[in-house]
Amino acid sequence: MSERIIAIACDQAAYELKLDVIKHLEERGIKYTDHGTYSTESVHYPEYAHKVCVDIQEGKAELGILICGTGIGMSMAANKHKGIRAAVCCDTFSAEMTRRHNDANVLCFGARVLGKGVALQIVDAFLDAPFEGGRHKTRVDMFMALEK
């Protein structure tokens, strides 16, 4: 993949925060694919997690962002997909370290847990941190082997 693309989706509880994240991505010049939801009408979040995960699996997106009420449901749904390493993060340190040490490819957080300002800082920490590799790659390989 030559250009960085972020796949993003949410459920109804996080619709407004997703719009804030999208605006933030646009301001940073980061391309994204918005997989919904597109309103505050009730939806089933696993369907939206699936769309983001498929984009990553197919190489259409480098990373994903999933937002629901707490981030927990989205992360559980996302982690059922082969090759997905989704992490719920409520602070910038965790967001940075899950990229650096766990090579997480999906960030999850909750609109009912975080305010807009902290959420955008978490997005930046996640997107800006590189995977360190080395001993961390060995560990990531070990837990990814559990999929087999």
Q: Could you give the residue numbers annotated as active site?
A: 68, 101
Judge whether 97 and 55 are in contact, CB under 8 Å.
Answer: no
Peptide bond into 37 cis (omega under 30): yes
CA 50, CA 13: separation in Å to the nearest integer? Answer: 17
Burial of 112 (0-12, 13-18, 19+ CB in 10 A): exposed
Look at phi and psi of residue 76 and say left if phi exceeds 0, alpha if psi is from -120 to 50, else beta.
alpha
